[in-house]
Structure formats: C-alpha cells, structure tokens
C-alpha cells in the first residue's frame, strides 16, 4: 500500500467511526519522522482509543503492520504510528491545549478539514 492509499484509508476509517474535525497535515520537508500527520477529535478517551484500534485493524487487513501505538491506556491523546502517516486522536480539550495544527503549520498553508 502506498502512502496516498494509506492516508485515504486512515481518513475514511476515522470519518466512518465518527471522529470529528479530521485534519491532514503535510509535514514533508518539515519532519524526518513522517510525511503526513492526521489529527482528529474524539468525544472521549475511550472513543480515542477505539478510533485508533479500528484504524490499526483496517491497516492490518490491508497488509501493513503499524509501528506502534501510544497513550491507549486512559489518555486524552492516542498516537498511532503507521510510518509515512502518524495519527493523533485527541479529546477536544487536549486538541485545544496542544494545537498541533498551529505547531506544524506555516503561514499561508491551507489545512484540510
């Protein structure tokens, strides 16, 4: 699965599982860790974990092995590392506090919603 297919799979699965405010950040040239970050809001810590679990299962079904998941044990921020795509699922309060979009954005860059 190439990066574009992986990104589409992640975005679709988050949308299908009722994540809100899904934003994709293109961090190529800004980070050596990954190419894209997908940030989404969950309604609760449990919902955040479930969203990442569903994405991880869908990725595995498509023959890709996730590199890891952090924060899944009662956290308001769960990170799923898929290599070229890193998924951040946060509660609304955590997302407002950390403002990842602002951190990774360059003035004049357009974000997807």
CA distance linking residue 24 with residue 48, whole number of Å: 17
Range of the domain at 96: 3-104
> Is position 56 within any domain?
yes
Question: pLDDT class for 111, splitting at 50, 70, 90?
Answer: very low
CATH number for position 70: 3.30.460.10
Mean pLDDT of the chain: 90
In the chain, pLDDT over 90 holds for what percent of residues? Answer: 78
Note the pTM of the prediction, 2 decimals. Answer: 0.89
Give domain status of residue 110, yes or no. no
pLDDT at residue 3 tops 80 = yes
Q: Is 3 helix (H, G, I), strand (E, B) or coil?
A: helix
Tens digit of pLDDT for each residue in 14-44?
Answer: 999 999 999 999 999 888 899 999 999 999 9
Structural domain includes residue 35? yes
Overall number of domains in the chain: 1
Residue 112 placed within a domain: no
The predicted structure's pLDDT at residue 72: 84
Question: Residue 110: what pLDDT?
Answer: 43
Q: Examine residue 19 and state whether it is found in any structural domain, yes or no.
A: yes
What is the Cα–Cα distance from 98 to 56, expressed in whole angstroms? 24
């Amino acid at each position: 699965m190439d990066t574009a297919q992986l990104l589409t799979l992640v975005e679709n699965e988050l949308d299908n599982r009722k994540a809100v405010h899904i934003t994709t950040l293109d961090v190529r040239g800004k980070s050596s860790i990954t190419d894209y970050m997908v940030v989404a809001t969950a309604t609760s810590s449990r919902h955040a974990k479930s969203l990442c679990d569903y994405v991880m299962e869908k990725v595995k079904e498509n023959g890709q092995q996730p590199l890891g998941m952090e924060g899944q044990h009662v956290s308001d921020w769960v990170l799923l590392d898929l290599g070229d795509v890193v998924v951040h699922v946060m509660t609304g309060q955590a997302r407002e506090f950390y403002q990842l979009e602002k951190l990774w954005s360059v003035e004049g860059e357009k974000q997807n919603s």
